[in-house]
Amino acid sequence: MSSEANPSPAARLAALREAMRDHAIDAWWLPSSDPHNSEYLPEHWAGRAWLSGFDGSVGTLVVTRDAAGLWVDSRYWVQAEAQLAGSGIALMKLQPGQADAPMRWLAEQLDEGATLGFDADVVSLANARQLEAHLAPAGIRLRGDLDLLEAIWPARPALPEAPLYAHPAAYLDESRAERLARLRSAMAEHGADWHPISTLDDIAWLTQLRGADVAFNPVFLAHLLVGRDAAILFVAPGKLGDELAEALAADGIAVADYADWHRRLGELPTDTRVLLDPAKLTLGTRLALPEGVTLVEAYQPSTLAKGRKSDADLAHVRQAMEEDGAALCEFFAWLEDALARGETVTELTVDERLTAARARRPGFVSRSFGTIAAFNANGALPHYHATSEAHATIEGDGLLLIDSGGQYHGGTTDITRVVPVGTLSAAQREDYTRVLKGTIALSRARFPRGIPSPQLDAIARAPLWASGRDYGHGTGHGVGYFLNVHEGPQVIAWYASPAPQTAMQPGMITSIEPGVYRPGQWGIRIENLVANRPAGESEFGDFLRFETLTLCPIDTRPIDVELLDPAEADWLDAYHAEVRERLAPKLSGAALEWLEARTRPLDRG
């Protein structure tokens, strides 16, 4: 491919600045987002990655006439530093709780009267308001009516065209009409006539449809406008078959062209009340609404409803976890045998064999994210991904971190395990055991129903803090039901805002994944998914506990048993007993032997 067809990041940056000059733009704001405020983006909207060369999932790029910076958190510092080399873009290390750092930087860089440009269709209304709050006092004007990438991206990918399909009815315990009725009840509480929704997982959940427009997430590009007695699904022509369109119509959902979203919003009556969530709709969507409408701003009701899985949902998730666990046992049995025989195994091999093992299980659809197989120093990069050009061979001594997951019709999985290879050092064993103690501590917790989820973070960190250790990412994220592997509203991270919607409620599925990362040496993370379950009532209120959903042995070979107290060891033995009981019927041969060996009770000396 010629350099003209695939220009370097430096050349792309120069082209952006030329376009900025043409439109009298002094700075350009480019987040990792799309018209749906997605975390994982269709390639058409992966402009930040295309422009900068940094392909991590999160980051904000800001370009002025003579400077450029990419703000990323600690998960990506090493990766970004390498990928930004020679681009003319500086790595800006984003610290926890300082999301407004690039805005403050802009306020310092730009002169009064300058103009900051951005594409209003990929900037949330909440983010646009933050920009206004930081920059308006400095006399900086915002302009959101341009998409400069369209002019400088010569081979910009087209929008995806994957067809839609129905989430099989066997995995659903309520109808599409019932979910819409629940949403309309919430709208009525707010006195709203209409409610626009752009977040893809909410739309998939409400419509009970799935797609393949975003890698690893079974969602599809769409908007949804719900009224008191009507609803319109905006989706590209050709993606929805006649049978599905008829099923939607039977439930009162009409279908319109994806491209008509802004026009149809503009046709709403001016005396109408519109419920919207500023964090989940773009500024472009807000600007499309008639000026006279009354805005009712509140947290998007479907997000909380979607996050609270029903008992029937959880029953399917447990089955999916058994299939996933069986696949993992088959993989780990192969891995240990291959390494023992001296077979060449690379980080890429791990991904291939693990995906193949999952693909043999009933109900499997796809991976739920790109597998992280990271040996030794690569494991110190929390979001490392091996490539054909750069990957490690699993040989010698060290730690192999594997973070992977699957999409099943009955649930979404996400699990991290660490495998010892050869001989481990005392320092590696202590790091591993401290991380395990953090996982166990939070897994055993009891807590009041309704507690803001960020407040639980310290429980997992306490065993690490006690020895002067910590990690730079959150402890837990919500997980969807055959939907996005990252889902709100709950998040277990001390720096997250403890807003009312983050309250822990029964049925929520969340990850628990503390870690320790030593740059240039190794990384350790032990992750299970858990579900909020009732833990009884007292005179002090209702309490919840965590049910551990993930079923896969936690390798005991790296444990320094002397660092575990009896209650922690009891928890681990009980967990392994359950794993063995539930997975053994699905296994035979080497995989069963591996399961039995890895779930033996701890030798407590």
Length of the chain: 605
Q: Which residues of 222-237 are buried (b: 16+ CB within 10 A; e: fewer)?
A: bbbbbbeeebbbbbbe
Provide the 3-class DSSP secondary structure of residue 518. strand
3-class secondary structure per residue, 146-184: CCCHHHHCCCCCCCCCCCCEECCHHHCCCCHHHHHHHHH
pLDDT at 98: 87
pLDDT at 158: 95
pLDDT at 97: 81
1 falls within a domain: no
Are residues 124 and 183 part of one domain? Answer: no
1-5, 43-47, 102-106: least confident range: 1-5
Q: What is the pLDDT of residues 308-322, one digit of tens each?
A: 999 999 999 999 999
Are residues 369 and 288 part of one domain? Answer: no
Question: 578 near 535, Cβ under 8 Å?
Answer: no
35 falls within a domain: yes
> Shortest CA distance to 54 belongs to which of 35, 29, 36, 78?
78
How crowded is residue 470: how many other Cβ atoms within 10 Å of its Cβ?
12
Percent of the chain with pLDDT over 70: 99
377 falls within a domain: yes
Under the banding of pLDDT at 50, 70 and 90, the label for residue 383 is: confident
Question: 543 near 537, Cβ under 8 Å?
Answer: yes
Question: 14 near 65, Cβ under 8 Å?
Answer: no
Provide the 3-class DSSP secondary structure of residue 57. coil
Distances in Å between the Cα of 206 and the Cα atoms of 65, 179, 279, 378 are 44, 6, 19, 40
2 falls within a domain: no
What mean pLDDT is predicted for residues 147-169?
95
CATH code: domain of residue 327: 3.90.230.10
Phi/psi of residue 513, nearest 5 degrees: -150, 65
Q: The tokens 């990957």 sit on which residue?
A: 391
pLDDT at 2: 35
> Shortest CA distance to 231 belongs to which of 263, 198, 194?
194
Are residues 393 and 292 part of one domain? Answer: no
Are residues 552 and 471 part of one domain? Answer: yes
Angle, CA of 307, 490 and 228, to the nearest 5°? 45
Provide the 3-class DSSP secondary structure of residue 292. coil
Q: What is the pLDDT of residues 403-445, one digit of tens each?
A: 999 999 999 999 999 999 999 999 999 999 999 999 999 999 9
The token pair at 42 is 């269709």
**Whole-prediction pTM:** 0.95
What mean pLDDT is predicted for residues 26-43?
95
Average pLDDT, the chain: 96
Rounded Cα–Cα distance for residues 349 and 327 (Å):
15
Distances in Å between the Cα of 218 and the Cα atoms of 197, 244, 347, 354, 360 are 17, 16, 26, 20, 19
Position 174: which residue type? Answer: E
Question: 123 near 34, Cβ under 8 Å?
Answer: no
pLDDT at 1: 34
Are residues 424 and 447 part of one domain? Answer: yes
Percent of the chain with pLDDT over 90: 92
Are residues 182 and 145 part of one domain? Answer: no
Rounded Cα–Cα distance for residues 342 and 467 (Å):
37
Are residues 175 and 63 part of one domain? Answer: no
Domains identified in the chain, total number: 3
| 43 has a pLDDT exceeding 80 | yes
Rounded Cα–Cα distance for residues 144 and 152 (Å):
17
Are residues 340 and 276 part of one domain? Answer: no
The token pair at 85 is 């080399």
| 3 has a pLDDT exceeding 50 | no
Positive or negative, the CA dihedral 517, 455, 447, 319 is negative
pLDDT at 572: 98
Q: Which of 268, 300, 332 is the last residue of a domain?
A: 300
| Range list of β-strands (E), 555-598 | none
What Rg value do the Cα atoms of the chain yield, rounded? 25
Q: What is the pLDDT of residues 205-261, one digit of tens each?
A: 999 999 999 999 999 999 999 999 999 999 999 999 999 999 999 999 999 999 999
Rounded Cα–Cα distance for residues 482 and 371 (Å):
17
Are residues 174 and 96 part of one domain? Answer: no
Q: What is the pLDDT of residues 329-341, one digit of tens each?
A: 999 999 999 999 9
Question: 145 near 128, Cβ under 8 Å?
Answer: no
Q: What is the DSSP string of 361-393?
A: STTEEEESS--EEEEGGGGGSTT----SSS--B
603 falls within a domain: no
Rounded Cα–Cα distance for residues 72 and 473 (Å):
12
Phi/psi of residue 561, nearest 5 degrees: -60, -30
Are residues 296 and 205 part of one domain? Answer: yes
Are residues 268 and 191 part of one domain? Answer: yes
Provide the 3-class DSSP secondary structure of residue 296. strand
159 falls within a domain: no
Domain hosting 198: range is 165-300
Rounded Cα–Cα distance for residues 179 and 244 (Å):
17
The token pair at 237 is 């022509």
The token pair at 166 is 């129905």
Are residues 548 and 437 part of one domain? Answer: yes
pLDDT at 229: 94
Q: What is the pLDDT of residues 438-470, one digit of tens each?
A: 999 999 999 999 999 999 999 999 999 999 999
The token pair at 82 is 């390498």
CATH code: domain of residue 266: 3.40.350.10
